[in-house]
Amino acid sequence: MSWTPLSYRIALLPLILAGPILRRTDPDGVTVWIALKEPSEVTLRVYSTENGQGEIVNDLLLEGSRTTIQLGKYLHVVAVTAKSVNAEYLQPGQIYAYNIDFACRNWYLAKALCSEASFNDVTISYFEHQLPTFAMPPDDLNYLRIVHGSCRKPHGGGRDALNILDNMILEYANQPNYRPHQLFFTGDQIYGDDVADALLWALTDAGDTLLGWQENLPLKKDANDEERYIYARDLKPGTRSEIARDYGGFTAMLVNKPEKAKSHLFSLGEYLAMYLFVWSPILWPHELPHSKDVQKDGKEAKLWDKEALTVEAFARDLWKIRRSLANIPTYMICDDHDISDDWYLNREWCNRVLCKPLGRRTLQNGLLTYAIFQAWGNTPENFQNGQSGEKLLEAAQQWSLSAGNDDLLGSKLAKYLAIPEIDSETNLPKLTEDEDSFILNRDYADGTQALEWHYRIESFKHETIVLDTRTWRGYAKGDDRTTEPPMLLSHTAFEKQIEKPLKDCSNPNIEVTIIIAPTNLVSLAIIDLVQKLDLERGNVFGSDAGDSWNFHETAFSMLLAEMFKQRDRVIILSGDIHYGCAVRLSYWSNYHFGESKVDRNAPESSHVLAQLTSSAFKNAEWTTHFIHTKAKSIAPEKPQYWAGWNNTPQLIEMQVIQEKVRMLDVNLPPKTPVLRQIDYIRGSDEIAWEIFVKNRESLPDWRYCIEWIKRQKAEEIVWQNNHELAEEEKSKSWKDFISLLWRNRWLQEGDEVVGFSNFGVVTFQWPENNDNAKAVIQDIYWHPAWKPNSTVFSRYFVRLSFDEAPPPPRVFSE
């Protein structure tokens, strides 16, 4: 069957184009997101189930209605929230069911999912009653199960690991303490900058059809060029690299990587269609166009067809993705690829992109889609009557009705999305001073309140704080510092996203604090080295240099200090880096919460942080495959010892060798004594420091140790359907023999990371009266090279007990 445009198929498709996706779920409210091809009032009803096990539906508990917003002729979206009917609330460790009513057809969910043409077998339930269900988190942390992952690119390497989640929910569907309770997408839900050519062809077609109009994209290369407009359909797949760079200012194709932006998304329709394509099978054509259908030849044709095959394989499992997202509370976070690679990486990027009409329009389209498809479900209260979110939705409807031609509405949208205005004097984005740095200005003359993407979730025994490290960055002052790495959270952002949420927790039953960050606090040493070399060479757009916390020492030390003022234990969930791992950070401080001064005579307080990383859902690369293997054991990650000061926060690395411990050479802030030498003494596994200080005594206020946790031997999943892929043929050539050697299990059982497409499941070992035995566990699920038609998990066990602080330093004045 050949390629068929969406306009020929839309009438035959079911009412529901994507979803339902279960979003924010609290004891007093449940939100479900859904996309329809017709406008409708949508009513959500949540029911209890017999014995809390999901199999038999009982009483109505929550109910709510909301009308869809019209984004296009055939695209109507809503995130509807159900609230308590009789002052009843959802209880821990129980399974609940929900149904949805569509007033436009007087249909319930089961009917709206199906089409008489070709979708009669659609199911999004794990039970005979055919309703989606979900399990509320338990009030015993020993049974809590949190899933997380990031980076899901349709033509990325490896199979889509997210489809394993469907098998997991199916296995434990009627067991509320064992089925997953929450799912966190920690970034890069879509790849706006890196799209397969054949997929972009389908997205442009679908976007134009869904909207019912074509967007005029503004092009203007510099101040001397006249502004002109072009349709997205005229910017063909595989030809957009120079357009993205020269007219949009984007950096995804810099440093000899033009293929990264050859099919960059630009239009609103393309961004909208991308989400619908990665979350649902409904809009997909039976077959993507072949290269011969679009007059491709040679090398480009081979790449087109290769990518098309990979993308079509991705689409075949989407029914499983759709079902799992309907049956687990799902939370999301924005990161760069949701818009474009390097988004807000530094001031230079902001100046490049925000000053170009195509750059601003693309950013606006990507952020608008993020707000409606992701943020609405995270914080539904921000989209209620009178809130900025509701005003954004109204403006989006009106802007779409104007076919994107109402500049006043476009300007209003930009403000709600926190896109800074252009300064008329400098022709650069407006900035606001934030102590010793700049932040992008979001204080508008008309009083518009921009939406914020960070949020907090409070459950029965755990809290989750979700950070926005992309739009609240602190940039260095000075015209010669525009490419310097930023603070990932500015001073104001620290107050909003870290200090306030930690202080505002009023639930005395909270025992675990989880923080979601799209970028790692600690990365592999080789990555840090490469990024430092890139920065030294001025290659600031080549390897996400500057997106790591440790590139801005002040912000990093502030983050640790603030977290540990408020909490003894912290769990960080992160993604972004295309491998899974676990890191333990032990922290000792002379600062005691509630005291204004450091008391050096008091015992040091002990804290612990576990960083759990899971990435990518689908975007493994040869480099991650390599570090996945035992070859990485040749250069294992070594423990790191750091020290620092609260006054003018400064990180100093302590290098431990057999003979001594010494401070690495650094530039210390003014009035900080010069650290001459630290002698290394080992006895009974203890380390003592002797610090020789010039002129006067000055000890660090805090110190910490970083340890990489080794992954345990992979275990095969017994409940997984192991016949999804055909059995492989036996080796027939020397290439097959080399392949078998590479896939050898001994080689593939590396020590530290999982570099194949994966996702993580976080659980806890939480004895009630034994702090020393508390731990967090991350199981990374993946398809192994030695048996790709199976699923395994590798376990990381991270102690959350407090290590004793090393003996206090002895100080000598020189």
Mean pLDDT of the 108-114 span:
91
Higher-pLDDT residue of 757 and 222 is: 757
In whole angstroms, give the CA distance from residue 54 to residue 478. Answer: 60
Question: What pLDDT score does 690 carry?
Answer: 39
pLDDT higher than threshold 80 for residue 227 = no
Q: Is the dihedral of CA 110, 115, 121, 126 positive or negative?
A: negative
Question: What pLDDT score does 727 carry?
Answer: 45
182: amino acid identity, one letter = Q
Mean pLDDT of the 616-641 span:
90
Question: What pLDDT score does 673 carry?
Answer: 38
Q: What pLDDT digit, counting tens, does each position of 667-713 carry? A: 444 444 333 333 333 333 333 333 433 333 456 778 888 999 999 99
Q: What are phi and psi of 360, to 5 degrees?
A: -65, -45
Q: What pLDDT digit, counting tens, does each position of 645-669 carry? A: 666 545 555 544 433 334 443 344 4
pLDDT higher than threshold 50 for residue 595 = no
pLDDT higher than threshold 90 for residue 584 = yes
**Whose structure tokens read 């925000």?**
354
Question: What pLDDT score does 732 carry?
Answer: 58
The strand ranges marked E within 261-374 are 330-332
Mean pLDDT of the 89-95 span:
96
> For residue 17, what are the contacts with CB-CB under 8 A and spacing of at least 6?
35, 36, 37, 75, 276, 280, 282, 283
Query: What's 245's DSSP letter?
Result: I
Top-tier CATH class for 6-134: mainly beta
pLDDT higher than threshold 70 for residue 19 = yes
In whole angstroms, give the CA distance from residue 392 to residue 398. Answer: 10
* Residue 723 pLDDT class (50, 70, 90 cuts): very low
pLDDT higher than threshold 60 for residue 538 = yes
Enumerate the H helices of 596-652 as residue ranges: 622-628
> For residue 336, what are the contacts with CB-CB under 8 A and spacing of at least 6?
187, 188, 342, 343, 344, 345, 470, 544, 547
Question: What pLDDT score does 603 carry?
Answer: 64
Question: What pLDDT score does 82 carry?
Answer: 98
Mean pLDDT of the 611-626 span:
93
Averaged pLDDT of the chain: 86
Question: What pLDDT score does 733 carry?
Answer: 64
Cβ neighbours, 10 Å, residue 698: 16
pLDDT higher than threshold 60 for residue 104 = yes
Question: What pLDDT score does 757 carry?
Answer: 96
Containing 629, the helix (H) or strand (E) segment is none
Dihedral of the alpha carbons of 315, 31, 613, 582, in degrees to the nearest 10: -130
pLDDT higher than threshold 90 for residue 461 = yes
- Give the CB-side neighbour count of residue 99, counting CA atoms within 13 A: 18
Question: What pLDDT score does 549 carry?
Answer: 80
pLDDT higher than threshold 80 for residue 115 = no
Question: What pLDDT score does 118 carry?
Answer: 55
> For residue 587, what are the contacts with CB-CB under 8 A and spacing of at least 6?
560, 564, 606, 607, 608, 609, 702, 703, 704
> For residue 294, what are the contacts with CB-CB under 8 A and spacing of at least 6?
201, 236, 237, 304
pLDDT higher than threshold 80 for residue 535 = no
Mean pLDDT of the 286-295 span:
86
Percent of the chain at pLDDT > 70 equals 86
Question: What pLDDT score does 766 carry?
Answer: 96
| HEC-encoded secondary structure of 714-781 | CEECCCCCCCCCCCCCCCCCHHHHHHHHHCCHHHHCCCCCECCCEEEEEEEECCCCCHHHCEEEEEEE
Q: Name the 3-class secondary structure at 656.
A: strand
Mean pLDDT of the 787-796 span:
93
* Residue 440 pLDDT class (50, 70, 90 cuts): very high
CATH 2.60.40-classified regions of the chain: 6-134
* CA-based R_g, the chain, Å: 27
Q: Find the angle CA(745)-CA(751)-CA(757) to the nearest 5 degrees.
A: 70
pLDDT higher than threshold 60 for residue 803 = yes
Q: What pLDDT digit, counting tens, does each position of 148-162 carry? A: 999 999 999 999 999
Cα–Cα distances in angstroms (integers) from residue 66 to residues 43, 87, 185, in the given order: 7, 20, 25
Beta bridge partners of 456: 465
Of 277-291, 551-565, 684-698, 706-720, which gets the smallest average pLDDT? 684-698
The answer to whether the bond into 616 is cis (omega within 30° of 0) is yes
Beta bridge partners of 692: 677, 812
Q: Find the angle CA(173)-CA(313)-CA(378) to the nearest 5 degrees.
A: 50
Q: Are 197 and 238 in contact (CB under 8 A)?
A: yes
Question: What pLDDT score does 163 carry?
Answer: 94
Question: What pLDDT score does 641 carry?
Answer: 80
Q: What pLDDT digit, counting tens, does each position of 394-422 carry? A: 999 999 999 999 999 999 999 999 999 99
Question: What pLDDT score does 228 carry?
Answer: 84
Question: What pLDDT score does 555 carry?
Answer: 76
Higher-pLDDT residue of 643 and 366 is: 366
